Structure 1
Amino acid sequence: MLIVASCRNVYRQSARTGVHKAVHNGKPVGRGVRMPKIELSDRFCQTAKPTSGLQVEFFDTVVKGLSLLASAGGAKTFYFNYTRPTDGKRARMKIGRYPEMKLGKAREKARAGRGGIGEGQDPLVEKRALAASQTVADMVDNYIARHASTKRSGDEIARRLRKNVKDVIGEIKLSELHRRDITKCIDTVKDRGAHIEANRLFEDVRAMVRWARGRGDLDSNLVEGMRRPTETTERDRVLSDDEIRTMWAALAKADARESTRRIIRLCLVTAQRVGEVSGMTRDEIDLDEKVWKIPAARSKNKRDHVVPLSNWAIDIINAQLADAEALADRKGREVSPFVFPGPGARAAVTGAAIAKAVKREETTKRNVSTIMGVASWTPHDLRRTAATHMEEIGISPFVIGHVLNHISATKASITSRVYARYDYAREKREAMELWAARLAGILAPASAKVVAIRGGRR
């Protein structure tokens, strides 16, 4: 007999007839209904729900034994139902939660379970044995290799999890993992005053736990109900004209590589994200057309983005390309595909490395912190600064949204996602030229003649 439990009722299905009978406290409470069998699809899994207010289990017609249990509360779980090879009794094994586990993966696991049964193995016994042997370190390594590595910020996620989770509680068995262990990892970061880092670690751990639960490595969501360790407010730091002048002049003397200085300058000149600037590749740049094409794989919103380049931006990129080629020639190696290659030229400089380089310039005097002569700032603040100054000189906020590749401006509605294909290339180029001229005026000596900038709203 197959048992499927809900909060108040229990379903019993005859393995021979496939008929469900709802029972409460061991007594029938309704007429029997035949177990639903259907070819499961992603669309069906999204919308599946019981019509009677109780749990219902849908059996897949594609892979024998695979079922989706849907509850009135919206929870959906994949199970593998089978006959034990040892005693011939019916058993069921939880495979994972939907949508954390996709239908294709659930079918793959169900097929693997059926293959093991054919060899005399009991999938449930094998799963329990694996769970008993797996540690938190195993979970971290699996998550990094199978999931985090596909993310744009995969390297930073891996660093945080290895340093703050694997090194702290890596030896704990998954079967013994408790939420207080997770709290210990986060508190360690928070106690050293790294509140933003603690929040990011919490987000990484929460994503990892959900992923592990979806795979079936964990049976419960250990972070459910946990709150972010620190409440933060959205940054609104914008550098003024005077601060831009002071920072730009101090940047030339900063204790950093010239390539780092160029990345910082490009963040302000192009108004793009520091990670996208530092990860720039040679094949993304078309100097003849004066454009930089950021592929969807490197874009935060996973959409291709074309950035018009001002002459100023091209001069910075050309200087960096020349230096990178000269270094490769001195080292006797091929020219790196990255415009800003890191040590060894095997990968690009990361945005995190640039942020750290800026942070190293911070000095504190009489409890007041400054970086390069102005109130503390981050590379991302330069992007906000550029956007703010663009709006001040009359550039439309909608066009600025396209320059920044904000999805709220570019693909916010079904109309813009599917039907509106105009790319605003002309407007974006005009905005970048206007911003370059405005920035030149800010940085020009007081005695120099400043180019007039168009004012007023567009």
Structure 2
Amino acid sequence: MPAAKPLTVKSIEAIKAGSSRREIPDGALQGLYLIVQTTGVKSWAVRYRHAGKPRKMTLGGFPAISLSDAREEARKALRMVSEGRDPATEKAEQEPKRPAHMDLMPALLDEFVTRHVAVKNRPSYVRESKRIVEKNLKPKWKQKLVKTVTKRDVLKLLDEIVDRGSPIMANRVRALLSKFFAWAMERDIVDASPVVSIKAPSEEKTRDRILTDEEIRFLWLAAEKLAYPFGPVVKLLLLTAQRRTEVSDALWDELELEGNNQLWVISVDRAKNKKEHFVPLTASALEIIEGLPKIKPAEDEKAKPIYLFTTTGKTPVSGFSKAKTQLDGEMLAIARKEAEERGEDPEGISIEPWTYHDLRRTAASGMARLSVPVHIVEAVLNHRSGSIKGVAAVYNRYDYAEEKRAALTAWADEVLRLVGRAAPEAGAF
């Protein structure tokens, strides 16, 4: 067998995850190994013999522990072995005992969200992760130690979620658990992940659903029947073509309502693609915004309103699934009433399922139908890819402001035409 090559930082970073766990020896120091999990997580370990038996001591994760630090720690451990001591045992005795309850799944999931998810992700993803933890994981594994969670446990949980009619949620749970156990391995809480080799329970197909002109009318009329905050949210989703969380989490400080160039500026922190985004506010969008209540935290009368859409003044609106059910019911009721007035059988009327994201696609398609060039539509959507590339992409930071305003105005006028409403006059606010 050829001698192992000394590891380098470059060679370590180039190592990719494989189909099985690997231990790669460091040719520069016998006994030091780089452990590469199938998830791509990398860590250090020292292998040695003590009292005639093979032993292993985990040093920690890479890159938190660098190559040079790992070699230094490994040398210390091997010197202890040469003195007849067992470094793994002594390390365990010196480390403070971790309270047993901290290795229960609920406590560790909370720690994972606080130390990992909340630090590295957008607020909307953090909220969704917390919701998944509270609804799907904690109730199922509230008394389970993390090291006792098996592949069978995970599969059973995912099957139950699929069976209750939520296959896409099962995919989300699997993805979050995969990240959770990778984090736990990196922190040396568990040795392996039970999620490895478990595929997503359901295939997610790219959607191409757009609402018809008649469905747009039903949607708008139904939104008018919904109280704040969901009715205005749905209208702005359709008029602005922005993402759901970008609209639902909108801040009053993001709005520039003075003068003749009213804008909504979505910051880098809130935009999905981490690119600051300028959304021109049309007269129709401004009319909706001007009608919104400004809700402050109840206990702080001097506080400024933060969120456009909130019921507490402290957090953005939630409960979109329930609102969607109500919205679907109102749309269907309107459609059936009109069918009955035409002398048709109302029971034969149905509305094809749709999602909030379909409103964004509907708006984009509507602007294209109004002859808006594709690169302007992409600018409205804040898409990175498309026809604007190279140097042009760098110098178009303002992203075709006037063209976007014209496109959104034309689309808003078209929506109101379909609904049978007159567009408000520009500058009326």
- Taking the aligned partners of 2:203 and 2:7, their CA distance within structure 1 comes to 47
Q: Within 5 A, what are the aligned runs for 1:109-148?
A: 122-123=90-91, 130=98, 134-148=103-117
Give identity over the alignment, percent.
28
- Taking the aligned partners of 1:416 and 1:91, their CA distance within structure 2 comes to 59
Conserved in 2, the CA contact under 8 Å of 1:169 and 1:181? no
Aligned to 2:273: 301
**In the TM superposition, what is the alpha-carbon distance from 1:234 to its structure 2 partner?**
2.6
Conserved in 2, the CA contact under 8 Å of 1:355 and 1:378? no
Give secondary structure in 1 for the equivalent of 2:407.
helix
- Taking the aligned partners of 2:41 and 2:316, their CA distance within structure 1 comes to 41
**In the TM superposition, what is the alpha-carbon distance from 1:202 to its structure 2 partner?**
2.0
2:283 paired with 1:311: yes
Give secondary structure in 2 for the equivalent of 1:292.
strand
Aligned to 1:78: 43
Conserved in 2, the CA contact under 8 Å of 1:37 and 1:58? yes
- Taking the aligned partners of 2:95 and 2:299, their CA distance within structure 1 comes to 55
**In the TM superposition, what is the alpha-carbon distance from 1:277 to its structure 2 partner?**
0.5
Give secondary structure in 1 for the equivalent of 2:242.
coil
2:421 paired with 1:441: no
**In the TM superposition, what is the alpha-carbon distance from 1:208 to its structure 2 partner?**
1.8
**In the TM superposition, what is the alpha-carbon distance from 1:181 to its structure 2 partner?**
0.8
Q: Within 5 A, what are the aligned runs for 1:20-59?
A: 29-30=1-2, 36=6, 40=9, 45-47=12-14, 56-58=24-26
Query: Which one of 232, 240, 257 corresponds to residue 287 of structure 1?
Result: 257
**In the TM superposition, what is the alpha-carbon distance from 1:436 to its structure 2 partner?**
1.9
Q: Could you say if the C-alpha distance between residues 391 and 129 of structure 1 is closer, same or farther in structure 2, counting changes exceeding 3 Å?
A: same
Query: Which one of 368, 374, 379 corresponds to residue 391 of structure 1?
Result: 368
2:234 paired with 1:264: yes
Deviations 1:72-126 (CA, angstroms, capped at 9, x unpaired): x996732154999x99x99653356xxxx55136689969x89x99999833567
Give secondary structure in 1 for the equivalent of 2:64.
helix
- Taking the aligned partners of 1:167 and 1:329, their CA distance within structure 2 comes to 31
Deviations 1:340-380 (CA, angstroms, capped at 9, x unpaired): 2232x111114xx234312234449xxxx948647233322
More deviation, 218-227/290-299 = 218-227
Query: Which one of 126, 146, 150 corresponds to residue 154 of structure 1?
Result: 126
Paired residue type of 1:239? L
- Taking the aligned partners of 1:437 and 1:310, their CA distance within structure 2 comes to 10
Query: Which one of 245, 260, 267 corresponds to residue 275 of structure 1?
Result: 245
Q: Could you say if the C-alpha distance between residues 383 and 48 of structure 1 is closer, same or farther in structure 2, counting changes exceeding 3 Å?
A: closer
Conserved in 2, the CA contact under 8 Å of 1:293 and 1:307? yes
Conserved in 2, the CA contact under 8 Å of 1:259 and 1:340? yes
2:305 paired with 1:336: yes
Q: Could you say if the C-alpha distance between residues 75 and 331 of structure 1 is closer, same or farther in structure 2, counting changes exceeding 3 Å?
A: closer
- Taking the aligned partners of 2:231 and 2:132, their CA distance within structure 1 comes to 26
**In the TM superposition, what is the alpha-carbon distance from 1:265 to its structure 2 partner?**
0.6
- Taking the aligned partners of 1:429 and 1:95, their CA distance within structure 2 comes to 57
**In the TM superposition, what is the alpha-carbon distance from 1:209 to its structure 2 partner?**
2.2
Deviations 1:323-354 (CA, angstroms, capped at 9, x unpaired): 216x77998452321122232x111114xx23
2:73 paired with 1:104: no
Paired residue type of 1:103? P
Decide which structure has greater strand share.
1
- Taking the aligned partners of 2:34 and 2:277, their CA distance within structure 1 comes to 40
Aligned to 1:24: none
- Taking the aligned partners of 1:127 and 1:410, their CA distance within structure 2 comes to 57
Aligned to 1:404: 381
Q: Alignment RMSD, CA only?
A: 4.4
Conserved in 2, the CA contact under 8 Å of 1:295 and 1:303? yes
Deviations 1:42-66 (CA, angstroms, capped at 9, x unpaired): x5532259xxxx97545999xxx98
Mark the runs of 5 or more structure 1 residues left unpaired by the alignment.
1-28, 452-458
Q: Could you say if the C-alpha distance between residues 218 and 330 of structure 1 is closer, same or farther in structure 2, counting changes exceeding 3 Å?
A: closer
Conserved in 1, the CA contact under 8 Å of 2:264 and 2:281? yes
Q: Within 5 A, what are the aligned runs for 1:86-97?
A: 92-95=56-59
More deviation, 195-204/258-267 = 195-204
- Taking the aligned partners of 2:237 and 2:27, their CA distance within structure 1 comes to 54
- Taking the aligned partners of 1:74 and 1:157, their CA distance within structure 2 comes to 20
Paired residue type of 2:242? Q
Mark the runs of 5 or more structure 2 residues left unpaired by the alignment.
17-21, 81-86, 336-349
Q: Could you say if the C-alpha distance between residues 291 and 137 of structure 1 is closer, same or farther in structure 2, counting changes exceeding 3 Å?
A: same
Q: Could you say if the C-alpha distance between residues 74 and 175 of structure 1 is closer, same or farther in structure 2, counting changes exceeding 3 Å?
A: closer
Conserved in 2, the CA contact under 8 Å of 1:250 and 1:372? yes
Paired residue type of 2:316? A
Give secondary structure in 1 for the equivalent of 2:58.
strand
Conserved in 1, the CA contact under 8 Å of 2:236 and 2:285? yes
Conserved in 2, the CA contact under 8 Å of 1:59 and 1:68? no
Q: Using CA pairs below 8 Å that are at least 6 residues apart, which structure has the higher relative contact order?
A: 2
Q: Within 5 A, what are the aligned runs for 1:358-377?
A: 358-363=324-329, 370=332, 373=335, 375=351, 376-377=353-354
**TM value normalised by structure 2:** 0.74
- Taking the aligned partners of 2:299 and 2:143, their CA distance within structure 1 comes to 46
Give secondary structure in 2 for the equivalent of 1:435.
helix
Q: Within 5 A, what are the aligned runs for 1:179-194?
A: 179-194=151-166
